[in-house]
Every structure is written in C-alpha cells, then in structure tokens.
C-alpha cells in the first residue's frame, strides 16, 4: 500500500552523510569506553566561544520574558541586522543596510532558503568539487539538479573555463565556498573577478540572472595574515550566506544570515522570496541567539588556537609522508589516501582508531577529510596511529 513517504526526504533521512556516519561511529565507540579513538569526522568547533557569548546570554535573560521568548519578525530584530550591516560596511565597504539582511538558523538555513527562493524545479545549480556534501541535499530538495564541476588540480581554485562549459540555459546559480571546506583553499581574487565577468556575460547571453551564492561560514578563519577576498565585491548578483557556527564556536545555537546586496537585480523581490521560503522551512534564528549576535558581531575568531591545531596535524602528517594540502583557511585537512579506494582506506584507518571522512561524499575520489577543530591532545596523540597506518601500507600505493 502506498505510504505517502516522500522518496527524497526518506533518502536524506535514512542515508546518512559520511560525516555523520563517522561521527556516530566514533561517539558509540567512546561511549562503550574504547580508548585511543581519534575522531576527525565533524566540523564541531572544539574551542571555547568568546566570553562575550555567555555574557550576552546573561544580559538577554534580564529582558522581560515576553520580549525575550516571543516571536521576532521573520527577518530578525532590526537592531541586530543594523549591527551586522554596520560591521559589514566597516570591513568591506559597500552600502549594506539592515534591509539587505535576513537572519537565519545557521548557514544551512540561509542556503536552503536562498536556493528555495531563487530556483524553479528542473533548474541547475553548479557546485565546485570537492564540495560541502549538504549542498546536494539543499539543491535536490527543491527539485533542482546539482551539477559538479572540478576545481583546478592541486590548487583547488575555481576553473572558470570548466564552469563556463557547464552552464546551460537551465543554470540558475553557482555556489562558491571560500575559505573552503574541505580543502582549506582561499579563492584567488582575480579568479573570482574572472568568474564574475564570465557570469555577467553568460547571464546576458542567456537573458537570465545567474546568481553567485557565496557560502562563507569560515570567512574569519584565515591563517598567516592572508587576505580573504570579499566575493560580493566581484559580481553584482552575489548572495552571501553566513554562519556564526564557526567564528563564534556556537554551531548548536543555529545563527547565520543571508545578505542580498543592493546591486542584486530585483533586490526587494529577492528579499521577499527569501522571507517566503523562510516561512515554509522555518529557518528563523532563535530569539535569544539573535540578541547574542547583536552583542558579538565583530568578535574575532580564535585564530591562535586554530593556528596551533593546524600546525600540530599538518606538520605531523607531512613529516610521516602523507600528501596533505596546506590549509590557508577553515579547519580541515585534505589528504590524499594511501590507496585509490578512499572507502577502503578509511576502513583501514578505522582499524587504527582514526575516523576520517572519505572524499566520495565531497564529489571526488582518492582523498580523505580531517576536521582538526578537535582537542590538542587528539592532534598530538593520533600521530603514532597515522604512522602505523602508513607502515601498514608501506606508504603510497598509487
Ligand atoms: N557550509 C559549509 C561549507 C559548511 O562547512 C557548513 C558546516 O559545516 C555549513 C555550510 C553549515 O553551517 P551551519 O552550521 O551554520 O548550518
């Protein structure tokens, strides 16, 4: 008998992501008392939130209950959006205002509302491999096609010619993510400008707007004083999706936003469509967390901690002989597997207590992702296990 279960929703729920599978595997092992488990699966910041976060929660608790716990406007409290807009203007120039912002439940809420609002069933959304696996779900949920396009080998920078070749009359959007999860690459400003110029030309040629969606949860997590280009400054039809999960270490609180710059064509209609999508999927930022964001906008990311963690794992693995991409941003290490079958490699790593995420979920083969926002002891303690794994294989087999 037909049970009415939606096939896509079922697939998303029953088929867990490789990241979650490894995370749950590690959690079960730890709960059963197993020792020497090195869990590099999930990007859950293991760095304290800045003191301002807890202080602002205490301030919020002083508000009258009906104000604090009542509904807010769907787009978020005005003073919070004003604080964010001021911060953006100070850092990136532009004329951003509260009216350009919609507060959301994390970047996930921002991404899914934006894709819902700006696509029609059957349209295509281009993602660059290796890509954050949830994009596939956010795109397919709205009956659009996820079109993977390879980045440049070794640098993992966007390949503008390859993106152009993938554009068809059905293309509606290109998603970029810099600093990148999983490679740690920061996209080069000139390449972004070339991408913008190409999208402008293709939009005119196809007589439709092709949006650039810039997913920026790691915007502030940038090493060695490198600069991180402001993507919205390179193409007028850029929509920015942001998250406080990583910069403030508050991933469980669900805080993010969509920024629709004034330069975006039909700006007000775009904002209204995103608000409409939000009503449907209800990705509104919780009231108390809006107030936290209002007080913590501009708090610096904990770069000392992440720089130390990057050094421990990157140098440790490179010393053994692993081919690892030096991350310029975010907190992931992208490592070439010792054998071409990345699933077989992560199973073998698991035998040594190492929980890595195989690259096929990110749209390419032969790599593993390590999330190094974990305890320093894990980063130092795992190296003997990585050495044993290396010795098991006798180094690279391919
Ligand atoms: N985009 C990328 C590239 C991410 O890595 C993540 C989370 O890890 C997200 C979006 C979702 O972030 P949020 O926790 O704000 O929903």
Ligand 1 centroid to Cα of residue 276, in Å, is: 22
Per-10-residue mean pLDDT of the chain, 398 residues long, equals 85 80 77 83 88 94 93 94 98 96 97 98 98 96 97 97 98 98 98 98 98 97 95 98 96 96 98 95 94 94 95 97 98 97 96 95 96 94 97 97
Measured in Å, residue 217 CA sits from the centre of ligand 1 at 6
| Cα distance between residue 308 and residue 296, in whole Å | 24
| Residue of the CA atom closest to atom 8 of ligand 1 | 43
How remote is the CA of residue 107 from the centroid of ligand 1, in Å? 5
Q: What pLDDT does residue 298 have? A: 86
How is residue 290 written in tokens? Answer: 């809006």
Give, for 117, the enclosing helix (H) or strand (E).
Answer: helix 106-118
Question: What is the whole-number distance in angstroms between the Cα of residue 216 and the centre of ligand 1?
Answer: 8
Mutational pocket test of ligand 1: of 114, 243, 246, 371, the residue with most ligand atoms within 8 Å of the beta carbon = 243
Q: Given the CA of residue 180, which atom of ligand 1 is nearest to it?
A: 3
CA dist 54 and 380 (Å) reads 30
- H or E element that contains 279: helix 267-281
Under a CB-based contact definition with an 8 Å cutoff, are residues 56 and 296 in contact?
yes
What is the predicted pLDDT for the residue at 133?
95
Domains of the chain in sequence order: 7-50+301-393 (3.90.1150.10), 51-296 (3.40.640.10)
Question: What's the CA gap between 100 and 304, in Å, rounded?
Answer: 32
pTM of the model: 0.95
Q: Which atom of ligand 1 is nearest to the CA of 106?
A: 15
Please report the pLDDT score of residue 179 as a whole number. 98
Residue 375: predicted pLDDT:
93
- Best of 105, 181, 285, 373 for a ligand 1 pocket test (most atoms within 8 Å of beta carbon): 181
Atom of ligand 1 nearest to the CA of 43: 8
Helices first, then strands: H and E counts in the chain: 15, 12
Residue of 293, 287, 266 lying closest to 117 (CA atoms): 266
d(CA 182, CA 196): 23
**Residues comprising the chain, all counted:** 398
The residue whose CB lies within 8 Å of the most ligand 1 atoms, and thus the one to mutate among 43, 104, 107, 182, is 107
- Atom in ligand 1 nearest the alpha carbon of residue 108: 16
The binding-site residues of ligand 1, defined as CB within 6 angstroms of any ligand atom, are 43, 106-108, 132, 177, 181, 215, 217, 243, 245, 251, 256
């Amino acid at each position: 008998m037909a049970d009415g279960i939606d096939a896509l929703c079922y697939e998303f729920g029953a088929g867990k992501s490789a990241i979650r599978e490894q995370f749950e595997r590690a959690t079960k092992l730890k709960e059963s008392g197993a020792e020497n488990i090195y869990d590099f699966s999930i990007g859950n910041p293991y760095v304290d939130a800045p003191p301002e976060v807890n202080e602002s929660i205490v301030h919020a608790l002083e508000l009258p209950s009906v104000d604090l716990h009542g509904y807010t406007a769907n787009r978020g409290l005005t003073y919070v959006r004003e604080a964010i807009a001021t911060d953006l203007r100070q850092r990136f120039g532009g004329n951003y205002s509260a009216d350009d912002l919609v507060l959301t439940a994390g970047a996930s809420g921002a991404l899914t509302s934006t894709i819902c609002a700006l696509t029609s069933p059957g349209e295509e959304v281009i993602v660059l491999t290796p890509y954050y696996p949830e994009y596939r779900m956010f795109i397919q949920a709205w009956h659009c096609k996820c079109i993977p396009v390879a980045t440049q080998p070794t640098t993992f920078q966007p390949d503008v010619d390859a993106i152009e070749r993938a554009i068809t009359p059905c293309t509606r959007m290109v998603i970029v993510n810099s600093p990148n999860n999983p490679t740690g690459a920061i996209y080069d400003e000139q390449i972004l400008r070339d991408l913008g110029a190409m999208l402008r030309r293709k939009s005119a040629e196809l007589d439709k707007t092709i949006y650039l969606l810039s997913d920026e949860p790691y915007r502030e997590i940038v090493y060695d004083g490198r600069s991180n280009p402001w993507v919205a400054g390179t193409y007028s039809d850029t929509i920015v999706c942001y998250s406080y999960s990583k910069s403030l270490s508050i991933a469980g609180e669900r805080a993010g936003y969509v920024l629709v710059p004034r330069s975006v064509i039909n700006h007000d209609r775009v904002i209204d469509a995103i608000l409409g999508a939000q009503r449907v999927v209800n990705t509104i930022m919780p009231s108390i967390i809006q107030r936290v964001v209002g007080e913590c906008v501009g708090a610096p990311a904990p770069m000392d901690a992440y720089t130390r963690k990057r050094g421990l794992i990157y140098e440790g693995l490179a010393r053994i002989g692993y081919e690892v991409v030096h991350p310029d941003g975010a907190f992931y290490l992208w490592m070439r597997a010792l054998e071409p079958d990345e699933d077989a490699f992560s199973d073998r790593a698991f035998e040594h207590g190492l929980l890595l995420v195989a690259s096929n979920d990110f749209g390419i083969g032969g790599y593993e992702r390590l999330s190094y926002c974990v305890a320093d002891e894990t980063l130092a303690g795992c190296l003997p296990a990585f050495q044993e794994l290396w010795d098991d294989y006798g180094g690279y087999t391919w």
